[in-house]
Structure 1
């Protein structure tokens, strides 16, 4: 990851957040960035506990904060954190506190567990998913079973403004980990209407029928665009340039990630779509909901 000065790693003492912390520590060591470890005591839970006892929310919040502060050093034992790291425990709403810390610390990268304390078979936990949507900086969501280094990366290229940064970040991770990258462009014939049940359910089938020759020419143009982008932005790494046809961009990405046994998907927080308000949104939301591997969401201005 390029130009990292501050990495924020929120932890909730779950297995996924422990693995995410190890990944954050590794990236901080490689980049020379300062690591900030944050635990948020959920204010809503404290309020419920206080209501069952004496109603003194502030008193119980301070008690839980102090308890968490005493637990963190033991939880961090054996984590091999870089020198100069800092820990902080704050009471509040996790999403709001984390985003405030991103701003106050001038964090360059947010690293969190893909799922939280309650866990899911697949898909991001609620706080993690909201961080991926709302954080203004690159956000890495790490699976509990994720090994320390990434071996197979899928970088999603849609030719939007974010694509170049997606390619650059994937290349840098691959270079430092010795990983293989599939630079993936999922495409759908531009004359194919969305299926019924979508917001365009009443759309009429197109009157123009494209020939096989025109279809092949369209694919060749996509292949050329992908090759030129990768050539410019990702020299010197093991990679493949992949075109995949699918009715849904999100489904195409998820299928390719599973089939290639990817351990990381890199995707832009905005994309090339006429339904711009739906992106993170449509494609990224689908990946957040169903991904079985770690996910790096790259943010660009307007993302």
Structure 2
């Protein structure tokens, strides 16, 4: 199973609690332990020791109540209250406890804003180096207590990254009544210019797209055959101008419960922690997005040391799962 330790950072708000059902769902499927974490912020210039202690007691009581509800589902759970800056403490906790998945909402107690993400969420997915699920608040699943992913869309682009994600998602959901949609979007090449393209150029572009389409169909069929073992896998190939937009609009049209994708696509440059397509899907999709990250240890150390993201090198391609070849 891909996950052993799932971190659920909570700030006491009802918005942040919308991520609980997703953490429980994944922990139940993978046998992972859930780590509840609250970061207590303090004003270093003026702080009342009595108020600080009372607040800490309240927070521990709050986490204990949530832990009891989660443990009733036969899921191992721990709870911790630490002090400091939220994003920094969460990343430090990930390092100490070997967290391999963080589940959080796009916003916290500060509420929804005009920006795509809250400040803590932005820092987490760009600087933690971990796989994560980001949940858009306000879109609660129909049944919080018994939520399940009946349909998952996996973004495929022909890279080893996306193949690895498909294998991980299949392993995570195997044995359940669910459908996995393998979506590959063939991009129509752009030819920006002041004058319209000629007939010859249009024909050349159509040939290029058709060639990619045929290759993509054969590729998806092969991957689907490899993954079909206890789950339903449906390949889906589309041709479009905007790849990211097609991914999240198709997911909505297909009624999926979760989008799964790699942080890195085949176009991701060496200076990017997440690719442009991944970031765009996260920013615009109303559905929860599970992003698999596979940074190497050297890159994680760079993140821990506070190295600028532009200095972090692109990871090597993951090794394919031999069981699915």
Q: TM-score, normalised by structure 1?
A: 0.81
Q: Tell which deviates more after alignment, 177-186 or 99-108.
A: 177-186
The question of whether the paired residues in 2 share the 8 Å contact of 1:266 and 1:296 is answered with: yes
Quick one: structure 1 residues 252 and 277, their matched pair in 2 at CA, closer, same or farther if it must change by over 3 Å?
Answer: farther
Q: How far apart are the structure 1 equivalents of 2:51 and 2:30?
A: 39
Q: How far apart are the structure 2 equivalents of 1:248 and 1:66?
A: 50
**1:84, CA displacement in angstroms?**
4.2
**1:230, CA displacement in angstroms?**
2.9
Partner of 1:5: 4
Q: How far apart are the structure 2 equivalents of 1:152 and 1:121?
A: 30
| 3-state secondary structure, aligned to 1:231 | helix
| 3-state secondary structure, aligned to 1:228 | helix
Matches within 5 A, 1:140-219: 140-144=133-137, 145-146=140-141, 147=143, 148-189=147-188, 191-193=189-191, 208-209=201-202, 210=204, 212-219=206-213
Quick one: structure 1 residues 126 and 183, their matched pair in 2 at CA, closer, same or farther if it must change by over 3 Å?
Answer: farther
| 3-state secondary structure, aligned to 1:166 | helix
Aligned partner of 2:286 among 292, 298, 303: 292
Q: How far apart are the structure 1 equivalents of 2:221 and 2:119?
A: 36
Partner of 1:94: 86
| 3-state secondary structure, aligned to 1:185 | strand
**1:59, CA displacement in angstroms?**
7.0
Say what the alpha-carbon RMSD is for the aligned residues: 3.2
Partner of 2:226: 232
Q: Tell which deviates more after alignment, 6-15 or 207-216.
A: 207-216
| 3-state secondary structure, aligned to 2:289 | strand
Quick one: structure 1 residues 116 and 178, their matched pair in 2 at CA, closer, same or farther if it must change by over 3 Å?
Answer: farther
Quick one: structure 1 residues 120 and 244, their matched pair in 2 at CA, closer, same or farther if it must change by over 3 Å?
Answer: farther
Aligned partner of 2:58 among 63, 67, 75: 67
| 3-state secondary structure, aligned to 1:15 | coil
Q: Tell which deviates more after alignment, 215-224 or 260-269.
A: 215-224
| 3-state secondary structure, aligned to 1:65 | helix
| Count of residues paired in the alignment | 287
**1:224, CA displacement in angstroms?**
1.3
The answer to whether residue 214 in structure 2 is matched with residue 220 in structure 1 is: yes
**1:252, CA displacement in angstroms?**
1.1
Matches within 5 A, 1:97-108: 97-108=89-100
Q: How far apart are the structure 2 equivalents of 1:234 and 1:135?
A: 33
Quick one: structure 1 residues 293 and 211, their matched pair in 2 at CA, closer, same or farther if it must change by over 3 Å?
Answer: closer
Q: How far apart are the structure 2 equivalents of 1:73 and 1:116?
A: 20
Partner of 1:136: 129
Partner of 1:268: 262
The question of whether the paired residues in 2 share the 8 Å contact of 1:129 and 1:288 is answered with: no
What are the ranges of 5 or more consecutive residues in structure 2 without an aligned counterpart?
296-313, 316-325
Matches within 5 A, 1:240-279: 240-273=234-267, 275=269, 277=271
**1:260, CA displacement in angstroms?**
1.1
Quick one: structure 1 residues 68 and 253, their matched pair in 2 at CA, closer, same or farther if it must change by over 3 Å?
Answer: same
Q: How far apart are the structure 2 equivalents of 1:7 and 1:26?
A: 11
Quick one: structure 1 residues 289 and 84, their matched pair in 2 at CA, closer, same or farther if it must change by over 3 Å?
Answer: closer
Q: How far apart are the structure 2 equivalents of 1:174 and 1:188?
A: 29
Q: How far apart are the structure 2 equivalents of 1:12 and 1:81?
A: 23
Quick one: structure 1 residues 57 and 133, their matched pair in 2 at CA, closer, same or farther if it must change by over 3 Å?
Answer: farther
Partner of 2:300: none
Partner of 1:199: none
**1:214, CA displacement in angstroms?**
5.0
Q: TM-score, normalised by structure 2?
A: 0.76
